[in-house]
Structure 1
Amino acid sequence: MVGLNSKSVLGPIRRVVATAQNGLEVVRLGGLETDATTSPFEIVERAAMYRLRRYFPDSDPETVGAPIVLIPPMMMSANVYDVTRDQGAVGILHEMGLDPWVVDFGSPDSEEGGWDRNLADHIIALSDIIDHIHRHTGKDVHISGYSQGGMFAYQAAAYRRSRNIASVITFGSPVDTLAALPFGIPAGLATKGADFLADHVFNRLAVTGWMARTGFQLLDPVKTLKMRVDFLLQLHDREALLPREQQRRFLATEGWVAWSGPAVAELLKQFIVHNRMMTGGFVIKDQLVSLAEITCPILAFVGEVDDIGQPQAVRGISQAAPRAKVYESTLRAGHFGLVVGSTAANHTWPTTGEFVQWTETGGPLPDRIANMVYGADLEDQTGVSISNRIIHTVASVAEVGAGVTKGISDLAAGALRGTFELSGEAARALPRLARLNQIQPHTKISLSQLLAEQRRKAPNGECFLFDNRVHTYEAVNARIDNVVRGLISVGVRPAAHVGVLMETRPSALAAIAALSRLGAVAVMLPPGSDISAAVKLGSVDRIITDPENVDAAVVTGRPVLVLGGGDARGLEVDPSHDVIDLEQIDPTKVNLPGWYRPDPGVARELAFIIFAESGGVLEAKQITNYRWALSAFGTATAADLDRGDTVYCLAPLHHSSSLLATIGGAMAGGSRIALSRGLNPARFVEEIHRYGVTVVSYTWSMMREILDEDLLLIDGSHPVRLFIGSGMPHGLWKRTTEAFDPAQVLEFYASTEGDVILANVAGSKVGSKGRPLPGSAQVRLAAYDPLSGRLLENGNGFVRECAEDEVGLLLGRAGFTADLSGGAMRGLFQAGDSWIPTENLFRRDADGDYWLIDHKNTVISTLRGPVFTQPIVDALSSVARVDLAVAYGVGDAPHQLAVAAVTWRPGRQFRSAELAEALSRIAFDARPDIVHVVDEIPVGSSYRPSSTALAAAGLPAPGPRTWFLDSETQSYKRLTKAIAAQLMPTRVGTGAR
């Protein structure tokens, strides 16, 4: 009995003593002393950014396998891969015959210049490391990384375009960061918060080691609490604690290092705010990079209960890197458990070794590896399924006795996400619309002023991209100011009309903005057209040109200013010509005159002159600063453009859609502008991925050349969300949305007379021009006789407004910038009102959407009445086999024949019944008299199909590809010589040919 009592007393005493002894050791030494060993290594390369460790350096070179380099995240020590030799990454990989190397970035707080490190410094360092290992081993390198280290691996592989890289292996590394944020945080809330932190916090503040540790632990407070409670409850049992002591010490204190402020800010900006791991277009030392350029195999480890690198975010790599073969290995583990602990030792590292060996030798795919399928997480929006989250969380809570569950928070987060995204869109739109409403005739507004505003907001922000380089707002504004000084030195003053004859390039944008900053008028001369006629119409004083267009500019007889072309352009000009090279003027030596005020343009003043061709006649269109601002803010609002967008400008800068919608909309939205050297399908595919293009501008049939090529890589992996432009044919619209699904088309109509802007924002009605945008002039359709060219009046003498679906002339209410002496009309619908007529005929459907019917000068005058060209073109272009379609009149009014011409898509068999079926959908009197298939329909510089040459050729020749409309059977029959002879004198007249 005494012995029993002694034992019952001594047991708790021993437990207390053991707890005290072990606790004292933890206090004095930071943890328990263990017999665990780490793996041997040597430092084989030192640089300012890193130390490169090679593990097991004494291994026999003849038996060493493929090299694999392991990359830690910025906030974690390189020792994460070697917490213990028996269960650490490097030990296991070495035992499997591989050659492990580890990158040690050190800690910024102990490295010279460490606090100034940015993300690009890490990627450049990794690229150097890959070169070093490749030179040393003579083998391609397998690169792998945990968490952010995996993001580094992806970025370095893309930066190098997979050169000397055998494969990429990542562990819990998010790619589509906004698809699945920790705790279900709404993407809109995250981007707003990250944007603020990047601009206002981490530009001044770094993250210390203790902050990184605390932040990591707070991301999974239940697991952190469980680990601490377990440790305390077992503090008396040294043998139970020792196996996990190295791991505990690593997580608790030893494993954390500081982050530099610039690196954190850049991480937030590029990969949270703009999600450019997913879209492409992230910047490494001014070079644009996209994960789409990775071509080597990829293996991503996915933690089923990883709330930091959530499954859907990790699986984004399969969409972001469409050229690579992407695999995954899933395991039930949290974020840290992917790389450290028994699960990692039994699953992660053996599977990694098997994958490396498989890529080296081939054979069947290892058992625990499968092809990755993006979007496979359908249970909820985060990618961590609700069932997995609840089971994992409840199990953890039960072990520590806590009564909270983090998983429930997702239910509220889902509703919050939708609400926030809607409010975010409204928050962007309302200030733009309010600003438009506040503009008065004297309000300062111009292209250059808007650009200067963006510079003040974000001087280091990315303004535009060109030739794989990024140009910041600061650099662009400096270039503009230098050009302004050059222009002043040669006598350019405010209100001067200066022609701009340049190809699409940064210098062209600088020239246009410099003229705006000076208060001069940029006359946009289209290269290749009748330059002399345009110079005369635009009252051009002198011409700014690039080296390629000097000869064409000199012919006009106006003084010529040459800008751009680079250092090696070799400019040679006849000395007798009045040519000045602006690049030779030193801006620092130009004294600014007293009259100079930057950005003096006000709303009512003329800003640009652009040119359009109608019926073969060149017409000058005057654009005020207000008209430009209306297009800019209207486009930004309709397209919901923001700082996360990259807008791809395919059309030349002299085209109205580029200057007003693309450039203007991007500037108003704060979006990046991607300039292209022209339409080239191969370049298009490369640039939309490399630049991370989210919005593509187009004109007319431009997308046809892209879709006709077989080298597209757009099978769901592209970043494009929207196409914006005008004039896209019906069939091409459908082909575009099918090829670039889920991207949509935003079709605009912007009058060059007045301030009318229509937009098909919903995109559900293919071919519709939509409705007036907020800020647009009030619009009405006036009853109109297209044959006489007269407006139709009611009994009171006012113009009658069109009924639903009635064709009429589109009018815009005259605003404060309208030139009432240049075609404005008064007293149309009520006494004293003022309206500016457009040149286009529209109808308005029952929903209030407007449909373009024709230009008033191209209506076909037949004996049965007017025939409108656009409904014919729309009907024919909706046929899948039709490539292009035009409609035109042949003969003299009122005896014209309505003729339609189509071209067939390559490789398609011709079926005339399809044309007849398409035309049967429009009224009999609105159908063309003749339909014929031609080999080619010319397109202009804006990619608009032209019927001028076909109309000049007269009546189509009879043959198997020409049909006429038989009025008796109301069907199309083959045109024969006999029928053609009948048509000529009776229906065409002497002016047919």
Structure 2
Amino acid sequence: MSSITTVQCEKRLPVNPLSLVSAVADRVGSGAADAVDMVRRADTTARNVGEYLRYGGLQIDAESSPYDVVATEPIYKLRHYFAQDAATDLPALVLVPPLMMATEVYDVAPQSSSVKAVHECGIDVWVVDFGRPEDEEGGLERNMGDHVLAVSDAVEKVRAATGRDVILSGYSQGGLFSYQAAAYRRCEGIDSLVTFGSPVDFQAAPLPIPLSMESYAQIAEGLLESRVLDYISLPSWFNKAWTRMLDPMATVKFKFNYYRALSDREQLLPGEQQRKFLDDEGWTAWSGPAIREFLQQTMVMNRMLSGGLVVGDRTVTLADIDCPIMIAVGEGDKEGHPASVRGIKRAAPRADVYELTLRAGHFGIVAGAGARKRTWPRVAEWIRWRAGQGDLPETIVPSDEVVSDVAWTPSDLSNRVQTVLDLGIGASSSAVRAANGALGAVQAVVRERGSQVPLVNRLDGLRSATEISIGLLMAESANRDPDGIALMFGDRVVRNRALGDRIDAVVKGMISLGIRQGDPVGVLMRARPSELTVIAAISRLGATAVLIRPDWDSTPQARVGGCRWIISDPERVAEASLPGVQWCVLGGGAGERTLPKHVIDMEQIDPDRVTVPKWYQPNPNRASDVAFILFTGDESTPRTRVITNRRWALSALGTASAASLKSSDTVYSRTPLHHPSGLMMAVGAAIAAGSRLAFASAPDRDTFWDEVRRYGATHVSYTWTSLREIADGPRHPMEQDNPIRLFVGSGMPRNLWRRVNERFAPARVLEFYASPDGEAILANVATTKVGSVGRPLPGTARVKVAAFDPEKKQLAYGADGLGRQCAPGEPGVLLARGDDAVNSRTLVRGVFTSHDVWQSTGDIVVADADDDVWLIDPIANLIDTPGGVVAPSRIQNALGRITGVDLAVAYAAEADDDTVVVAAITLFPGVELTKWDLQSALVRLERNHRPHTVMSVPEIPVSTWSRPLRTGLPDVVGEQGTATRRWQLAEDGESYELA
């Protein structure tokens, strides 16, 4: 009530005229001031808008950091910042910018300049300037390798100028260039690496837009196959738009805040240069060849992690990096997701990796006030620590100690799309996603198999008159992709065009020697590019390649093979001439060398001076023509194994299809070409699919892992036990995250197969079977049944398992004179559909019907209920004993189930004038075998299959093809030989006792 009364009293007071005038004046003045302020703000806004529309932003009088251009090369210029007062007591920092962004990313504005911040910390700063590709001569023709070589050259120049190893550093793609340059140089001249938001494992993190990695890969493969990127490049405006699309809401928000603040010039000026850089000036074009390589390396093959990068004509793997690495990880980075950036730890297992974790986005890691305060001072401290002038900052920690669960934030486009879907679909979304997942898995399989349709079609179309040969397929690859990589050996690559030219030159050399179509030509070489070149040249000429085994005497092989010429490596030249044989040498370069007088150096033949005869037609061979002659039997009496072009093509195309090989894959061959598996499966499949082919330079374990990572090997060949050292040795640093998908070969023992599956999962074993004669080619494509050789490949001969009489060692015929197909689980002879027109000693007629024709493989097999075939033994290996016929492989497989057993062989020996079966085993170090181990493994066998004696020996010899042999083992029971322990079967026929 008092307040009301007061008001009423106040209303009754007489009005003071002076106060009223003053109040009116104040009100008018305030309104006038507001009006003036509005007019001023409108004027400022109008002028700022006009300046923005005319110049693209507000005009700022700010100077860039000073630098000298100390080198100008075709790909880059080398800038030296603050050269007049550069520090000399610390290693220099070499900064590498990414593609799509201007070099000025390191010097956007004085208050956010990276180079200035580092210089103020006492560091000598150098920057690699790639320029603007659209303005540089040949700039839009550059590829990724050109940039990597430029960085390597810059390292060399800075190192020469400063006299010290450098700190090589890159932002985003600049970090990828830095990694590759360091690997290319094997870290020579590089003290350490520092990278900012540089993704390495492109399959480790969610993608910034809602597409699966498979979809990305399909799009990338489509672009690569279309070769459209050979003719177009991405302009700067597209690169800017693409980056903005990764986070459109952030772009809209930034634009809105900027336009709203156009009336406040003082607020805008501090960040204006950075805005102009990101809005326009900072973007450059991206050349088509560089995009092509980037897509292939990341989206398709993820080669930054797996290896197989190619720089120039050299193979590169980040696994060769052994200098320390510091990675700056932005927890809000959408382009260099933390999980992908941290992939360098797995890609470079030899390097010590440290991490600086920052609360920043992709651009904020290196630019802006935050980077000036948090990033660059830590980089300077890193450099001082590396120079021994300080401690490692607490914020930089070993990557193994980093604990982070960084994921995409809800603002990311992909998550926003998923969130909308989840909200809209509701409870049924789980079922829908499950169905989509299943459909996706099916589609992935269909796509993978679908990519093999051309190979399967070619298999089905093979006829006797079909033009097909190894020379023809290699010529097709050269025409299809001249710059594609054909061969990898050591750290060098050979491209299709260069290989084709070399093959043509060798053909002319052979023509000059008088070699003609159909002639058998001996080849005595190790598995290397020169050997494949000679074999392809012989095929292209229309002759026959006789592949001489280097572990045997070449004289009987040349005689049996009908050779009038032998082409060898320089180191395999025979000291004396062979009667009727002209010895030639190829490989080792065209320089001067001393060779025996009976040898012709083909490197000295000038192909340009050879006149090509009129009869010469490249790749004239048909499927029915003889392509190769291989050797079996023993050294003193070698037997020939004739391989036609059709037989080779069936294996090559079939293996490529079964292994789902693509042009982006790499087949790493550890198998000699004179072995059928190496020639027809490993090498043949790579050529048939247009994949990269890599030859092992040495058989040891360290070389294996070095080359698997260097080549990015996805498929590795094997024979028999050739993977033992790899599978049973200690863990290798390069083994982790290796790129191998399939081990491809034949003859692997089941216990080794299981060890390979367990150790190298998810890699699998793809076991093949190819009959010595005929066209029975089987493969365990599903790879799920350890020991099975699977089913016939599409386009190869149909097979059946026929009943077998073990006593007579022949097919079992019924009262009607016809054979019988075995039931599932019943052992029998594997027969392949034959050709009555082919004269072969292994053909059998009238087996199941009166007029059918089959070819006997000579192998005892068993087929299961799924029609998968399991190889038992060749008929020739069966052992006749008083208790019945014994298949030694069954004993070997049973012993292989014992955990401590490495190798096992079973063979015939004498005991009291009878033939018995004995077994020899080798054990893993530290294993003690008991009689209970033996009994539990062998009791499953029929009584006559339980070996009379089991010997533990220090070593079981293997052939040059890694097949276990019985050489040197005792032929008579009771002879000690090299056995360290022996167990003998007791009279009860079940238990074993130490002998």
Matched, 1:488 2:487: no
Aligned partner of residue 920 in structure 2, secondary structure: strand
Aligned partner of residue 955 in structure 2, secondary structure: coil
Matched, 1:31 2:57: yes
Q: 2:232 aligns with which of 201, 205, 210?
A: 205
Rate the CA distance shift 1:121–1:513 in 2: closer, same or farther, 3 A: same
Shift of residue 60, structure 1, vs aligned partner: 6.5
1:970 corresponds to which residue? Answer: 990
1:731 corresponds to which residue? Answer: 751
Structure-2 separation of matches of 1:524 and 1:869: 31
Matched, 1:334 2:334: no
Could you report, residue by residue, the CA deviation over 1:330-359 in whole angstroms, capped at 9, with x for unpaired residues?
A: 444432233223443344334433443444
Alignment of 1:832-843 (within 5 A): 832-843=851-862
Structure-1 separation of matches of 2:930 and 2:182: 49
1:986 corresponds to which residue? Answer: none
Matched, 1:16 2:45: no
Could you report, residue by residue, the CA deviation over 1:249-283 in whole angstroms, capped at 9, with x for unpaired residues?
A: 00112112233333333333344433321221212
Q: 2:548 aligns with which of 525, 540, 552?
A: 525
Structure-2 separation of matches of 1:368 and 1:414: 41
Deviating more after overlay: 65-74 vs 269-278: 269-278
Alignment of 1:410-449 (within 5 A): 418=441, 421-449=444-472
Structure-2 separation of matches of 1:953 and 1:652: 35
Q: 1:504 aligns with which of 502, 523, 527?
A: 527
Matched, 1:829 2:848: yes
Shift of residue 632, structure 1, vs aligned partner: 0.9
Matched, 1:703 2:723: yes
Matched, 1:851 2:879: no
Structure-2 separation of matches of 1:350 and 1:266: 35
In structure 2, what residue type is equivalent to 1:761? Answer: V
Structure-2 separation of matches of 1:951 and 1:534: 30
Shift of residue 795, structure 1, vs aligned partner: 4.1
Q: In 2, are the aligned partners of 1:70 and 1:143 still within 8 Å (CA)? A: yes
Structure-2 separation of matches of 1:131 and 1:332: 34
Q: In 2, are the aligned partners of 1:890 and 1:955 still within 8 Å (CA)? A: no
Matched, 1:282 2:302: no
Q: 2:74 aligns with which of 48, 69, 93?
A: 48
Deviating more after overlay: 98-107 vs 207-216: 207-216
Shift of residue 220, structure 1, vs aligned partner: 3.3
Rate the CA distance shift 1:97–1:915 in 2: closer, same or farther, 3 A: farther
Q: 2:649 aligns with which of 629, 651, 660?
A: 629
Structure-1 separation of matches of 2:465 and 2:915: 50
In structure 1, what residue type is equivalent to 2:795? Answer: G
Q: 1:656 aligns with which of 657, 676, 679?
A: 676
2:150 corresponds to which residue? Answer: 125
* RMSD of Structure 2 on Structure 1 (CA): 3.2
Rate the CA distance shift 1:187–1:358 in 2: closer, same or farther, 3 A: same
Deviating more after overlay: 914-923 vs 685-694: 914-923
Aligned partner of residue 436 in structure 1, secondary structure: helix
1:980 corresponds to which residue? Answer: none
Could you report, residue by residue, the CA deviation over 1:8-37 in whole angstroms, capped at 9, with x for unpaired residues?
A: 544543332221110112233331134655
Could you report, residue by residue, the CA deviation over 1:554-585 in whole angstroms, capped at 9, with x for unpaired residues?
A: 346423232223234734224xx4x4332232
Shift of residue 711, structure 1, vs aligned partner: 8.0
Structure-1 separation of matches of 2:519 and 2:970: 40
Shift of residue 374, structure 1, vs aligned partner: 12
Rate the CA distance shift 1:887–1:56 in 2: closer, same or farther, 3 A: same
Deviating more after overlay: 656-665 vs 825-834: 825-834
1:809 corresponds to which residue? Answer: 829
Matched, 1:292 2:328: no
Alignment of 1:886-897 (within 5 A): 886-891=905-910, 895-897=914-916
Q: In 1, are the aligned partners of 2:167 and 2:383 still within 8 Å (CA)? A: yes
Rate the CA distance shift 1:646–1:880 in 2: closer, same or farther, 3 A: same
1:947 corresponds to which residue? Answer: 966
1:791 corresponds to which residue? Answer: 811
1:989 corresponds to which residue? Answer: none
Could you report, residue by residue, the CA deviation over 1:707-754 in whole angstroms, capped at 9, with x for unpaired residues?
A: 465583344232222211111222322333344343221111111211
Matched, 1:264 2:291: yes
Q: 1:610 aligns with which of 624, 630, 645?
A: 630
Q: 1:753 aligns with which of 773, 778, 784?
A: 773
In structure 2, what residue type is equivalent to 1:671? Answer: S
Shift of residue 246, structure 1, vs aligned partner: 1.3
Count of residues paired in the alignment:
956
2:342 corresponds to which residue? Answer: 315
2:257 corresponds to which residue? Answer: 230
Shift of residue 157, structure 1, vs aligned partner: 0.8
Alignment of 1:298-447 (within 5 A): 298-361=325-388, 366-372=393-399, 384-385=407-408, 387=410, 389=412, 418=441, 421-447=444-470
Could you report, residue by residue, the CA deviation over 1:105-154 in whole angstroms, capped at 9, with x for unpaired residues?
A: 21233334434433222222212222232233333221111111010110
Q: In 2, are the aligned partners of 1:768 and 1:850 still within 8 Å (CA)? A: yes
Could you report, residue by residue, the CA deviation over 1:448-477 in whole angstroms, capped at 9, with x for unpaired residues?
A: 111111111100100001121110111111
Q: 1:110 aligns with which of 135, 156, 159?
A: 135
Q: In 1, are the aligned partners of 2:199 and 2:336 still within 8 Å (CA)? A: yes
Deviating more after overlay: 65-74 vs 899-908: 899-908
Rate the CA distance shift 1:158–1:274 in 2: closer, same or farther, 3 A: same
2:268 corresponds to which residue? Answer: 241
Q: 1:96 aligns with which of 121, 131, 136?
A: 121
Could you report, residue by residue, the CA deviation over 1:837-891 in whole angstroms, capped at 9, with x for unpaired residues?
A: 1121111223332221111111111111111111211222333433322111114
Structure-2 separation of matches of 1:715 and 1:678: 17
Aligned partner of residue 577 in structure 2, secondary structure: helix
Structure-1 separation of matches of 2:941 and 2:636: 29
Deviating more after overlay: 842-851 vs 649-658: 842-851
Structure-2 separation of matches of 1:780 and 1:101: 72
Matched, 1:878 2:897: yes
Could you report, residue by residue, the CA deviation over 1:149-181 in whole angstroms, capped at 9, with x for unpaired residues?
A: 010110111111112222212222121234444
Structure-2 separation of matches of 1:745 and 1:392: 38
Deviating more after overlay: 676-685 vs 345-354: 345-354
Rate the CA distance shift 1:152–1:321 in 2: closer, same or farther, 3 A: same
Could you report, residue by residue, the CA deviation over 1:943-965 in whole angstroms, capped at 9, with x for unpaired residues?
A: 11112443656654398611211
Q: In 2, are the aligned partners of 1:652 and 1:678 still within 8 Å (CA)? A: no
Could you report, residue by residue, the CA deviation over 1:745-793 in whole angstroms, capped at 9, with x for unpaired residues?
A: 1111111211112212233322222222222211111111233212112
Greater gyration radius: 2
Rate the CA distance shift 1:391–1:784 in 2: closer, same or farther, 3 A: closer
Aligned partner of residue 337 in structure 1, secondary structure: coil
Rate the CA distance shift 1:417–1:96 in 2: closer, same or farther, 3 A: farther
Deviating more after overlay: 326-335 vs 125-134: 326-335
Structure-1 separation of matches of 2:357 and 2:416: 19
Rate the CA distance shift 1:914–1:139 in 2: closer, same or farther, 3 A: farther
Q: In 2, are the aligned partners of 1:184 and 1:414 still within 8 Å (CA)? A: no
Deviating more after overlay: 504-513 vs 6-15: 6-15
5+ residue gaps in structure 1? 398-407, 976-993
In structure 2, what residue type is equivalent to 1:470? Answer: V
Q: In 2, are the aligned partners of 1:72 and 1:149 still within 8 Å (CA)? A: yes
Shift of residue 905, structure 1, vs aligned partner: 3.1
Deviating more after overlay: 481-490 vs 633-642: 481-490
Deviating more after overlay: 639-648 vs 583-592: 583-592
Shift of residue 216, structure 1, vs aligned partner: 2.8
2:887 corresponds to which residue? Answer: 868
In structure 1, what residue type is equivalent to 2:541? Answer: L
Shift of residue 829, structure 1, vs aligned partner: 1.3
Deviating more after overlay: 1-10 vs 875-884: 1-10
Rate the CA distance shift 1:781–1:638 in 2: closer, same or farther, 3 A: same
Aligned partner of residue 86 in structure 1, secondary structure: helix
Matched, 1:69 2:94: yes
Q: In 2, are the aligned partners of 1:779 and 1:811 still within 8 Å (CA)? A: yes
Alignment of 1:756-771 (within 5 A): 756-771=776-791
Rate the CA distance shift 1:953–1:508 in 2: closer, same or farther, 3 A: farther
Identity of aligned residues (%): 44
1:547 corresponds to which residue? Answer: 570
In structure 2, what residue type is equivalent to 1:854? Answer: D
